[in-house]
Amino acid sequence: MRRFVLWLGLVLALAAAPVWSQDLSGPAPGAEPTTGGAGLDYGVWDGMAERAEVEIGNRYTSTDRMEEIRANLAKWRAALLNAQSANSARIATVRQQIEALGPAPGDGMVEPDEISKRRQELASQLVKLQAPGIAAEEAYRRADGLIDEIDRTLRERQADELLRLWPSPLNPGNWPEAAIGLSDTLLRLWDELASAWSDPKARGTFFDNLPLILMLVVVAIALVVFVRRWIERFAESLLSEASARGRHFWALLVSLGGIILPTLGVMALVWALLSSGLLGDIGSQIALALPVVGFVVFTAAWLGARAFPRLQGDGAVLPLPPERRAEGRFLAVLMGLVIAADRLRSAAMDAQAYSDATTSVMSFPILLTGGLILMRLGRTLRRTREMEDKTSNYGLRLIQLLARGLSIVGFVGPVLAAFGYVQAAEALIYPAMISFALVTFLFILQRLIGDGWALITKSEAADRDALVPVLAGFGLSILALPLLALIWGARFSDLTEIWTRFTEGFSLGGARISPTDFIIFAIVFVIGYMLTRLFQGALRTSILPKTRMDQGGQTAMVAGIGYVGIFLAALIAINAAGI
């Protein structure tokens, strides 16, 4: 859940690095890549790497510190990778010069002194030119190995944390402790309010700001209650009254106000609470969590209203009867409330550092409710099976697969929490909810692109199956993969590592293949393929009809030339890419 809050931008910065108690020589592990007279300063690198090795080997080094060390090692690794190509042009020239001298003489053969002397000079130059690249490659291997070690350590820590066994929330012996923690939190919140009210200065601040507070509360109620309902009714009226070409597009854009304006209303309420001067530490934490809570609930309601609309026409994403759509909207709101409840619990109680038993018992009802909602939602989505039997729609098959996954997670999550694996349950239930929201948003966004394309092309019907909307949907799916990885527990550094490996390329047959090579290969191959198709068209329509060859022979020749052209295009593309 903290990961979700981090994405919304309300989590504080990472904790500061621990102070070292050891007196080690050399620069700190956070030293940036620096250059000496002719390249990287390897003295700075050696000191940084030695200090990093010590910190990595210390099992008490915090996870935040490990991430900080890894970030600096990644910067050094990138600089060292670039340094490996030092003098590459000059090295290639010297090698060509050596090749121009011919092969070295074999045993018993004598080479002219002038050529032998020149060969030795060039060999000496080559060794000196290759030295910086060799040093950079050795240092690169060291940095890469340290990064791999950090990643392995962090993955092990993450796995240990997920599989850590907490006190079971079903054990009645843990309930009194949890009740004490809950009552203690409520009492502290009441004491904060009572102490502030008894303070004349705080009470004076409240009365001085009372007009502002009342105005903000009225604005909050208007935006959260009345404006939100008006926006929903207006969006539905657009669906029924606007032209077929633009009604879905404009109705969807207007409906976004159902998220933005109510969230602003919650922010106005938070402003009013903070302006009162009556909030203490716990009250302030709860108040600061309210914008996130409001955004989550309103977004869940918006997604539910789009996925399970009241007014559903032809081509609906989820072909369900009205009563099932109403249930889907209700379950979507409940999912938002479950996530919001966990966020409020965390804001109110985590700062008090209560025991694991208290956290386990307080989290279990929320997790159980979330599991039941997921199971019910999976059952609702499985009702689309009736439409799947009537059509070969690929999207409905994906929805059926998603429904099964939600049902499984909804059952397994609470069972794990009941046995005490609370964090494992949280790592299943909340990501499943957020993933469902993301998939729903992708469906909505793809339909918005299709409707927008229909407006651009001035088509009377939404052209969602045109090439551009389909390609845009495919691109959105690819872009969503990193988000799904983050939702399910991947670290951001894991994604950057994948991207680094991708940009570095890979070795194939003694050659290093990079993404640039793939782009060159694709461009050259496409050009060759297009030329082949053009030549086939010319043969079919202009040249072969003037010959005496029968129709079957003409078709065979055109097909054969197509195969040969594609083969030649691939060979030329491979050569152009340097493979």
DSSP state of 276: T
* Partners of 511 in the β-ladder: 508
Write down the pLDDT at residue 247.
67
Q: What is the DSSP string of 135-188?
A: HHHHHHHHHHHHHHHHHHHHHHHHHHHHTPPPPPTT-GGGHHHHHHHHHHHHHH
Q: What is the pLDDT along the chain (579 residues), one digit of tens a residue?
A: 444 443 444 333 333 333 333 333 344 455 567 655 456 888 899 999 999 999 999 989 999 999 999 999 999 998 898 888 778 788 889 888 888 888 877 776 777 888 888 888 998 998 998 888 889 989 999 999 999 999 999 999 999 999 999 999 999 999 999 999 999 999 999 999 999 999 888 889 999 999 999 999 999 999 998 888 888 777 777 666 555 556 677 777 888 888 999 999 999 999 999 999 889 899 999 999 999 999 999 999 999 988 888 877 655 567 788 888 899 999 999 999 999 999 999 999 988 888 999 999 999 999 999 999 999 999 988 877 655 554 455 667 778 888 899 999 999 999 999 999 999 999 999 999 999 999 889 888 887 887 777 777 665 554 556 666 777 778 888 888 999 999 998 888 888 888 887 777 665 554 556 666 777 888 888 898 888 888 888 888 888 888 878 888 888 888 888 899 899 988 998 888 766
Distance CA 347, CA 282 (A): 8
Write down the pLDDT at residue 401.
85
pTM of the model: 0.75
Distance CA 417, CA 360 (A): 8
| 490 φ/ψ sector (left φ>0, alpha ψ -120 to 50, else beta) | beta
Distance CA 406, CA 51 (A): 46
Distance CA 10, CA 245 (A): 40
Residues 230, 233, 236, 240: is their CA dihedral positive or negative?
negative
User: Residue 381: CB partners within 8 Å, gap ≥ 6?
Assistant: 318, 399, 400, 402, 403, 406
User: Cα-Cα-Cα-Cα dihedral of 386, 387, 388, 394, to 10°?
Assistant: -150
Q: Is residue 388 within a helix (H) or strand (E), and if so which, with residue range?
A: helix 385-388
Q: Which long-range contacts (CB under 8 A, 24 or more apart) does 81-86 make?
A: 81/136, 81/140, 81/504, 83/39, 83/40, 83/132, 83/133, 83/136, 84/133, 84/136, 84/137, 84/140, 85/133, 86/39, 86/132, 86/133, 86/136
Write down the pLDDT at residue 465.
60
8 Å CB contact between 343 and 293 = yes
User: Cα-Cα-Cα-Cα dihedral of 88, 91, 97, 99, to 10°?
Assistant: -90
Query: What are the angstrom distances between the C-alpha of 424 and each of 157, 194, 303?
Result: 13, 39, 26
Measured N-to-C along each axis, helices 113-162 and 63-83 cross at an angle, to the nearest 10 degrees, of 160
Query: What are the angstrom distances between the C-alpha of 10 and each of 231, 277, 347, 436?
Result: 28, 22, 11, 23
- As separate numbers, helices (DSSP H) first and strands (DSSP E) second, the chain gives 21, 2
Helix, strand, coil shares, percent, the chain, to 5: 75, 0, 20
Task: Tell me the residue length of the chain.
Answer: 579
Residues 231, 236, 240, 245: is their CA dihedral positive or negative?
positive
